[in-house]
């Protein structure tokens, strides 16, 4: 339990809405573990007040901020600098104070990478299929490219968005890494043994019985599934894997590690992976 006093440092979340955020719970546990006196406050920020919110947080000496939908790209013009990787993605979710404002980082990307390592999922050079082409898929796609993937597919309901994301990454890295495919054409994926990263919103609570692909033949082509959704804890996508005796993971560790990476930047204190089971338990208890 946090005791707020005159020494308490403030962190916060800028988003619209922020009512369902789990981040305060994550940061409270991290602060408890590392012995920091800080409070993490959800700050519902209307898009028209975003610049004022950034200025206000700077004036009030916030230790750091997270940024969520719909501000992850819109906030960039109001920052004093941006980390090069976040700049490539074109989205930030973590702000760290510096002399003349805030520097933006993307710990969704690095947090997903750390979560996959924690879960023992390695990213193959070939044979990855990313389902979705929205904001979360974008961070995942750049993570794959940063990890030296040489061939991967982005499949999406709207081909145009998949093509745009593929073009963006291929241009950024100067090589043809990603190929776009329409979601309904999943049967065109050559061969098998794919890592499938699920980054659409299909299957999100309360639509627990939905998956973007409802055909077990697709899952036969895959060896491991990684769903970015964490509510429900086991999605229909994950269940397809379980039914075939294959491993799959939800997005809970991604959520936790994006928080840990932000927390480490704000406090300068490394957070041990030992805290992760406690955070998972607290989040599952809350659900
Ligand atoms: P976006 O709205 O940016 O993207 C949504 C994606 O889902 C698009 O690719 C969209 O396809 C696809 N989609 C939506 N509805 C359907 C449908 N009925 N059939 C097929 N495809 C569909 O959302 P985000 O990228 O921000 O979030 C996606 C998911 O990732 C969410 O469920 C969220 O919970 C999760 N997430 C998890 C995080 C974590 O820390 N674990 C962090 C951020 C997000 P189209 O382009 O055709 O519209």
- Specify the CATH number for the domain of residue 278: 3.40.50.10860
Find residue 64's DSSP bridge partners: 11
Give yes or no: residues 126 and 242 share one domain: yes
Catalytic residue among 55, 72, 221, 265: 72
pLDDT higher than threshold 80 for residue 2 = no
DSSP per residue, 207-252: -TT--S---HHHHHTEEEEEE---SSSS-HHHHHHHHTT--EE-TH
Give yes or no: residues 15 and 60 share one domain: yes
Is residue 141, in this structure, part of any structural domain at all? yes
Ligand 1 within 6 A of CB of 203 = no
> Would you say the C-alpha torsion 136, 138, 143, 147 has a positive or negative sign?
positive
Is residue 59, in this structure, part of any structural domain at all? yes
Is residue 117, in this structure, part of any structural domain at all? no
Q: For residue 233, give the nearest of 167, 278, 283 by alpha carbon.
A: 283
Q: For residue 269, give the nearest of 31, 83, 7 by alpha carbon.
A: 31
Ligand 1 within 6 A of CB of 228 = yes
How much distance in Å is there from the Cα of 235 to the middle of ligand 1? 14
Range 158-182 average pLDDT: 96
Residue-wise pLDDT for 181-228, tens only, equals 999 999 999 999 999 999 999 999 999 999 999 999 999 999 999 999
Give yes or no: residues 131 and 235 share one domain: yes
Give yes or no: residues 195 and 276 share one domain: no
Residue-wise pLDDT for 60-74, tens only, equals 999 999 999 999 999
Range 256-283 average pLDDT: 97
**What are the strands, taking DSSP E only, across 75-187?**
81-82, 94-98, 101-105, 128-131, 152-156, 178-182
The number of the ligand 1 atom at minimal distance from the alpha carbon of 69 is 26
Is residue 112, in this structure, part of any structural domain at all? no
Q: In terms of residue numbers, what domain contains 217?
A: 122-246
**CATH number, residue 237:** 3.40.50.720
Question: What is the value of pTM for the model shown?
Answer: 0.97
Query: Is 72 an annotated catalytic residue?
Result: yes
How much distance in Å is there from the Cα of 284 to the middle of ligand 1? 22
pLDDT higher than threshold 90 for residue 287 = no
pLDDT higher than threshold 70 for residue 41 = yes
Is residue 264, in this structure, part of any structural domain at all? yes
Is residue 274, in this structure, part of any structural domain at all? yes
Give yes or no: residues 172 and 212 share one domain: yes
Question: Six-digit token pair at 182?
Answer: 């329409």
Strand bridging mode 64-67 / 9-15? parallel
Give yes or no: residues 161 and 98 share one domain: no
Sheet holding 9-15, edge to edge: 38-44, 9-15, 64-67, 94-98, 101-105, 81-82
pLDDT reported for residue 55:
98
3-state secondary structure of 100: coil
3-state secondary structure of 9: strand
Question: In angstroms, rounded to a whole number, what is the distance separating the alpha carbons of residues 177 and 149?
Answer: 7
What total number of domains does the chain contain? 2
Confidence grade of residue 1 (pLDDT, cut at 50, 70, 90): low
Residue-wise pLDDT for 82-130, tens only, equals 999 999 999 999 999 999 999 999 999 999 999 999 999 999 999 999 9
Give yes or no: residues 130 and 238 share one domain: yes
Compute the C-alpha angle 92/94/96, nearest 5°: 120
Compute the C-alpha angle 257/252/116, nearest 5°: 60
The number of the ligand 1 atom at minimal distance from the alpha carbon of 111 is 40
- Computed over every residue of the chain, the mean pLDDT equals 96
Give yes or no: residues 137 and 161 share one domain: yes
Give yes or no: residues 237 and 140 share one domain: yes
Phi, psi (5° rounding) for residue 152? Answer: -150, 160
pLDDT higher than threshold 90 for residue 277 = yes
Residue of the CA atom closest to atom 29 of ligand 1: 201
Is residue 2, in this structure, part of any structural domain at all? no
How much distance in Å is there from the Cα of 236 to the middle of ligand 1? 15
Query: Tokens 């895959």 sit at which residue?
Result: 222
How much distance in Å is there from the Cα of 219 to the middle of ligand 1? 19
Pocket test for ligand 1, best of 69, 157, 158, 212 (most atoms within 8 A of CB): 157
Give yes or no: residues 47 and 65 share one domain: yes
Give yes or no: residues 39 and 97 share one domain: yes
Portion of the chain with pLDDT greater than 70, in percent:
100
């Amino acid at each position: 339990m946090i005791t707020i006093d005159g020494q308490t440092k403030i962190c916060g979340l800028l988003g619209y809405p922020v009512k369902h955020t789990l981040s305060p719970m994550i940061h409270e546990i991290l602060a408890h573990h590392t012995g920091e006196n800080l409070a993490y406050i959800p700050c519902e920020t209307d898009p028209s007040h975003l610049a004022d919110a950034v200025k206000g947080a700077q004036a009030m000496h916030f230790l750091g901020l997270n940024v969520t939908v719909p501000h992850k790209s819109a906030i960039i013009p109001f920052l004093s600098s941006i980390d090069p990787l976040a700049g490539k993605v074109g989205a930030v979710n973590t702000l760290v104070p510096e002399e003349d404002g805030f520097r933006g980082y993307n710990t969704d990307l690095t947090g997903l990478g750390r979560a996959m390592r924690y879960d023992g999922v390695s990213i193959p050079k070939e044979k990855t299929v990313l389902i979705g082409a929205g904001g979360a898929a974008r961070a995942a796609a750049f993570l794959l490219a940063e990890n030296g993937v040489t061939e991967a597919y982005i499949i999406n309901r709207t081909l145009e968005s998949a093509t745009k994301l593929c073009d963006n990454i291929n241009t950024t890295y100067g090589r043809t890494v990603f190929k776009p495919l329409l979601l309904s054409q999943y049967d065109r994926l050559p061969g098998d043994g794919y890592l499938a990263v699920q980054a659409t919103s299909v299957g999100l609570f309360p639509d627990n019985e939905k998956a973007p692909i409802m055909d077990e033949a697709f899952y036969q082509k895959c060896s491991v599934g990684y769903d970015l959704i964490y509510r429900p804890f086991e999605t229909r996508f994950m269940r397809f894997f379980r039914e075939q005796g294959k491993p799959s993971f939800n997005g809970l560790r991604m959520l936790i590690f994006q928080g840990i990476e932000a927390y480490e930047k704000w406090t300068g204190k490394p957070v041990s992976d030992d805290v992760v089971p406690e955070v998972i338990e607290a989040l599952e208890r809350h659900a």
